[in-house]
Each structure stands twice: as C-alpha cells, then as structure tokens.
Structure 1
Amino acid sequence: MHHLGLNFGELLILLWRGKLDCGCTDNKNTWTWATLTGETWEYHGKLVAEARKFFPSSFHQPPRNPAEKINNGFKATEYFLAVLPRENWRHLCKGLHGARTMLQCSATGKEIREARIQLVQFVEEYEVMYYQRRVDRMHFCRPCIHTLLHLASEMIRIGPGAVSSQYTLEQLIGELGQSIRQPSNPFSNLAQQALIRCRINALKHMCPELDPKSVLHQPKGSLVVGNGYILLQPRKHSPSQLFSPEMDALEEAGIYSKQVRKWGRLRLPNGQIARSLYSESDKNRANVRNTRNVKIRVDGLKTYAEVWYYFLYAQCPDDLTAYALVSIYSDPLKEVLADSYNELWACFYQGDKSTPTTSWRLWFVVEKTGVDDAELLGGDTEDE
C-alpha cells in the first residue's frame, strides 16, 4: 500500500511540481512535465478539495486540498490526483492500470500478465520521459520505481500483497503498537501482546460464538432481506405516490404498482452501506458525502448507477422481495477509455432520461482502492 500509494505517488507529485533536486548541469525550465506549479497548483488543490462531497463515506480518506495538506499527513490514497500534459497523463494511466491489479485481493493469470506488461512499459517509459539516462537525474530513480518490475512475479509467488502484507500487516502493526503499555521493555511487551492475540484468535476459531462480530448486528428498524443484505432506515412511514418515469421503469421489471414504501439505505454483505437519493436529499449539512452510486451488472456487463431508493414488493403474498430503483449512467466514452488504458471511465448522468441532453453532466468513476479489503478488515462505514 505504501509502495503504490505513498512512495510512488509522492515521487510523481514531486516531479510534476518541479520540487526534486536539480543539479547545476540540469535546468528545470526543460522539465515539460512540471505543470503543477504556482497558480495551477493552487487551483488544482481547490478543485480536489471541492470534490470531497462526491466521494463515498466508505472511502479510507477523501481527497483534501494537496496545496495545503501535502506536507501534513497526506494519505497514500490521496496521491493519485494530478493535472498533466497528455503524454505524461497517458503514462500515468498505464502505471495505474498495472497497480490496480497489484492492489486486488485476487487476480487471474491473464490479469497478472497484463499488469506485468503495463508496469514494465511504465518503468521503461519513465526512464525515457523523466530520467532520460542522465547521471544528474539519477535521484529520479527511487527504489519504488524498480520495485514495480517485481510486483507481478511476487504476486504469483506469494499471492496478492493485499492479503500478505499491505492491509492485514499494516492493520496488525497499528493494533499491536497501540497495545504496548511498558515503554521500558517494549519488545518483550510486544511479544506478549502478540502471544495473547494468537491465543484469542485460536479460541475464536474453535468457538466462533466467542467472537461478538460473528453475530450479525441488526440495527433497530432494519430488515434482513437475504444473502447478507439488510435494509436500513430512514424509511417512509407510508407509501409514496410514484411519478410516470418511475412507474415506467418498474413496469419494465414486471412490477405494477403506483405506490411504494421507500427505504433509504442498504448494508452490503461486506459491511459497507449504500445510501440513496432519498436518504441523502433529506440532509441539510453542507458537506454531505455522496454514497448513493453503485457498481452493478446489467445483462452480465459492468456499469454504474445512482440509487434513488430501495423498496419491497410482493408478486404474491408470500414472496416479499427487495428492489432498488436506480438511474443508470451512460456507457463510457470509448475514446477516453481506450486512451487511458481502461482507467478513466467517463460517462453522462442521465437522471430519468426526460432531462434534455444539453443539461447532462459528465462524471467519471473513482473506485475505492482495494475495495475488497473490507471483507478482510470489516466494513468501515459508520451506522448513523
């Protein structure tokens, strides 16, 4: 995590800001990639901070203004943000495409081979684009660049880093460090804390009922709908009248009703909570985080949608089923997707499709890094 986020991201940001050391035989005026400077850097930082409300509350750390926070606890997941010349931007996308695979908890052989090709090409192009085989730029080639060449082979040899080191090990180090109570003898204390942790884990494995997390917590007013999904409040006290676009969408799914009782949130099996337009439109806070966009499959194909609300419907008296009314975003712009090595998924918000095309807004997808780590560490979304 620190390699692909903190170390890798920090190096690139320093290059783009023109902050790396420049020898007397070099000239920063020739650094065509150093575009994040002066007013551009300040303006970019402002745009990044304003995007905070569009990042779901389940994200580790929403982006903050890098112009203000880059030297004050900036997180690894905040580093993948920049404004670059097209050549440098495409080079970054190629590296991110390979890095994304390396951050997954599982990957196919085909994905690993493709990631290896992308990462090797990224390193080669990095040396041509930035280092340029110049001795006075040797310090551009930090260990985090060379390590990219070994990630794919190591993933095949010992498994994904997300399982073997990145998230689980970081979590364990943090928890054991907080449990030390004898600074005068820290290593003995640390060994005892680790031993106690192993014994507790062994007992939980033999007797799962000893682990309070093994029992599904069902909040008050919620409803279990099967397969690990739980509907959560807010919930309408009475059925709401549907408008024409909503009824048309439900009829296409074989649901013939003019009224439904809306639910606002859905807890997913991994512990994350997906909200809806209904639940978030009632909040008056200025910095409400948008957590109503979801990734779904339609006819076997991946796409993205905005959840308007959840509801229950019974085709027959004994068959009460949970549904979600969603507004599907448009297909991605193919040229942009191909140009970014399948990294930038830019699409249009369509609403209920009755909105004139001229008012459509262009959106792009940002997925939580290592989103499947929630299954290892537990969901990190607070149940308000």
Structure 2
Amino acid sequence: MACNDTLNNKDSWDWAILVGNLWKSHSASIATCLPHLPGSFDRPPCNSVEKINSGYKAWEFLTYLYFLGPRLFYGMLPDKYWEHFCCLQRISPEQICEAHDLLFIWADNFEDLYYNQHLKCMHFICQSVHATVHMATETMHALQFIINNLNPDNVPISTLWLDLGNVYVLKHPREEIAHMVTFTKADTLLIYLDIFDLALAPPWQYTPKVGKWGRLGLPNGQITHTMWKELAHASEDVRTSHNVRLLCNGKLEYAEVQYFFTFPFESVRCGFAMVSACRYLGDMFLHVFSTSAIQAIVAVVPYYNIGYHKLPDTVYISEKMGIYIQNLGRYMEADDIEARTVADNVIHAT
C-alpha cells in the first residue's frame, strides 16, 4: 500500500513518534516495570525492541497496552492521542454485571430462536455461542475442588493458614511466637481499637504483642504479600505484591501492607493489616485496617520521565485486567509457596 503520496504523506503522521532512540528508551522502560508488577498479573511484558516480533506473548501485549500504556505513553504521545487511547481503559463493575446478564440472555434466546431445543438442530449451536454463558462464572480449578470434596482428609495443613471468614485466609509464612511491637505501632493499634471501643486484656494494652503473617488470600483469588517478607529478598527476584486497594468507610484508599496479624475479640479471632498509606514515611504514617477492608492487589509503578511531562516522585496505580470478572467467577492465584511447604512437610513426616 502506498503511504507516501500527496494525500497520505508520512511526514504528516504526528502520532508516529516511537522510532529511533525514543523507541529504544521506551522499550527499556517497559522492562523496568517488572519488579512493580505483582505475580497475580501473570506474564509481564519484556523489552519490546528485543522480543516484540519474536516471542511476545498475548498476555504481554495486553499488559503492555492496557495496563502500562496510559503510564508509558503519557508525555510521549501528543495529548490528543493519549486521551483517545485512554478511552479504552476502564469499565465499571456494574457494567460488567450488566454485560454478563446480556450475554446470558443472548445465548438463551439464540437457542430458542435457532434450534428451539430440538436435538436434531443441535449442530446450529457451536461452542463459541454456548461459551458466553460461562465467561464470567466458570470455575477454573474444578478438578481441584472436586478432589477435595470427595476426600475430606485431603486438606492443607492447618498451621499453614487461618480462615478469617468471608473467603479471607491468612497464609504462611508466619511467626510462631508473638513479639512486642514498637511504641509507634502499638499506638497505631490502640488508636484503631479505640475507634471501635475495643480493648486488649492486661497486660497487652500497654505492650501489645503480635505474631506476623506473611500473606492473605482474598475473595477474588489473589494472594496479598507483605513488606515484611518481600523486602527480605533481593529486589530483582521479587514482583511486588504488597500494595493493595482498601475500602474504608465507603471510600477507596491505597496502601502498602507491612504485615498481617490477629487478635482475639469476644472469643472471635480477627485479622488485621498494619499498613502505610500514600507515600511511604516509615513509622510516621501507619494505620491498622481489618483484613476485610482489602479489596485487591494493585501495581504501583514509578513514572520515568522520558517524555515532555515531568512527574517527579509520582507513581501510576492500576489493577489487574479483568479483576472484577474474577469476582464473578472462581479464579485462584497459584500458590507455589504453599505447595512447596506442604510437600516439605510430607517428606519430613515420612
């Protein structure tokens, strides 16, 4: 196709900017996002200069365009093109539920209209038509759940997890012995308890002790990690998964989880998270939240000032694509750590 005639001159393409050194620096910035993408975000995109034409996975393209795109293209694309691109980025949970209902109605009406429940006309229904009924609610790990239901003894070792109710589950690693917390963290905990007119039994109201937990399973299937454990590893080996979205008094907040812990109140053991909100200021800006306030894991990616918009000390926050659809279905993040620990316990036991 001729693209350089008088009616379509390439010099007029003001959107064709990702060329030469700018394309290379842009591609390098894609790779630098890796440590900031939680493991539940699946396969992270690689340097596009090196692999975009030879081995770039479908999920890498999706993450690159729909998740990292608004951040990476900001300040590089002319504003009118960046604003147009961002029109693709979001759909509300209510719209997802409506779309699911409409897909179900469409599939049901298709069957009534085109084969009217007649077996001889079954060939009119192809797999792609019927699949729309299951798009949001299909169980991904059906066999695993069936096996556990058939064999009640086939359950995880109880010391590895603690069921908090409402599909929130604390997961190891954990501290076997509770330790005293710093004065700042003790004050933060006591302030939280005062809000709900709760009190600790003596002598814990003066010197609270907590046993830390390293991870929390969420109702959407994601597994939240903690600064306590992630900072103990080299940064290049960790995909940060301790930044979360909270729902607090009907308002959305973002925070990074330092650790999880439990306290018994009225004979019920409740889970909590020690978090620092907004910019990390050490122990100066700590809060305690119920684990049930945590809605999802988010990625917090720093802006790298490549384009003409300079945003120092600024981060870009986004959630995994399809996270609200996961809430409709039965997604569960792979738990390699727990699997390895269970296997180790079995080996030691035998």
Using the size of structure 2 for normalisation, the TM-score is 0.62
Larger helix percent: 1
Percent identity over the alignment?
A: 29
**Aligned residue number for residue 189 of structure 2:** 250
**1:219, 1:232 within 8 Å by CA — same for their partners in 2?**
no
Amino acid at match of 1:78: Y
Segments of 5+ residues of structure 2 without an aligned counterpart are 108-125, 127-138, 194-199, 287-311, 338-350
**Aligned residue number for residue 300 of structure 2:** none
Q: Deviations over 1:211-257 (max 9, x none)?
A: 23667953552111211111111111322332233122211111644
- 2 CA distance for matches of 1:233 and 1:156? 36
**Aligned residue number for residue 272 of structure 1:** 222
Amino acid at match of 1:278: W
1:224 equivalenced with 2:159 (yes/no): no
Q: Following superposition of structure 1 onto structure 2, how do residues 115-134 of structure 1 map, counting pairs within 5 Å?
A: none
**2:276, 2:285 within 8 Å by CA — same for their partners in 1?**
no
**Aligned residue number for residue 48 of structure 1:** 30
Amino acid at match of 1:107: Q
**Aligned residue number for residue 107 of structure 1:** 95
> Residues 235 and 269 of structure 1: is their aligned pair in 2 closer, same or farther, counting only changes over 3 Å?
same
Amino acid at match of 1:85: P
1:60 equivalenced with 2:37 (yes/no): no
SS at match of 1:224: strand
**Aligned residue number for residue 133 of structure 1:** none
- 2 CA distance for matches of 1:305 and 1:315? 25
Amino acid at match of 1:272: Q
**Aligned residue number for residue 82 of structure 2:** 89
Amino acid at match of 1:77: T
- 2 CA distance for matches of 1:295 and 1:271? 15
> Residues 33 and 372 of structure 1: is their aligned pair in 2 closer, same or farther, counting only changes over 3 Å?
same
Q: 1:315 deviation in Å?
A: 3.5
1:315 equivalenced with 2:282 (yes/no): no
| Larger relative contact order (CA 8 Å, sep ≥ 6) | 2
Q: Deviations over 1:96-144 (max 9, x none)?
A: 2xx521xx664289xx8xxxxxxxxxxxxxxxxxxxxxxxxxxxxxxxx
Q: Tell me the matched-pair count.
A: 257
**Aligned residue number for residue 300 of structure 1:** 250
Q: 1:381 aligns with which of 321, 334, 337?
A: 334
Larger strand percent: 2
1:22 equivalenced with 2:10 (yes/no): no
- 2 CA distance for matches of 1:296 and 1:210? 29
- 2 CA distance for matches of 1:209 and 1:157? 28
Q: Deviations over 1:302-333 (max 9, x none)?
A: 111111100011235x232111111122xxxx
Q: 1:49 deviation in Å?
A: 0.6
SS at match of 1:67: helix
- 2 CA distance for matches of 1:305 and 1:292? 8
**Aligned residue number for residue 315 of structure 2:** 363
Q: Deviations over 1:11-49 (max 9, x none)?
A: xxxxxxxxx972423222222122211111111111111
Q: 2:179 aligns with which of 236, 240, 251?
A: 240
- 2 CA distance for matches of 1:240 and 1:52? 34
**Aligned residue number for residue 143 of structure 1:** none
**2:169, 2:216 within 8 Å by CA — same for their partners in 1?**
yes
1:73 equivalenced with 2:22 (yes/no): no
Amino acid at match of 2:63: T
**Aligned residue number for residue 194 of structure 1:** none
Amino acid at match of 1:279: K
**Aligned residue number for residue 16 of structure 2:** 34
Q: 1:352 aligns with which of 283, 306, 328?
A: 283
Q: 1:369 deviation in Å?
A: 0.6
- 2 CA distance for matches of 1:271 and 1:288? 20
> Residues 350 and 310 of structure 1: is their aligned pair in 2 closer, same or farther, counting only changes over 3 Å?
same
**Aligned residue number for residue 111 of structure 2:** none
Q: 2:146 aligns with which of 211, 221, 236?
A: 211
Using the size of structure 1 for normalisation, the TM-score is 0.57
1:289 equivalenced with 2:239 (yes/no): yes
SS at match of 2:271: strand
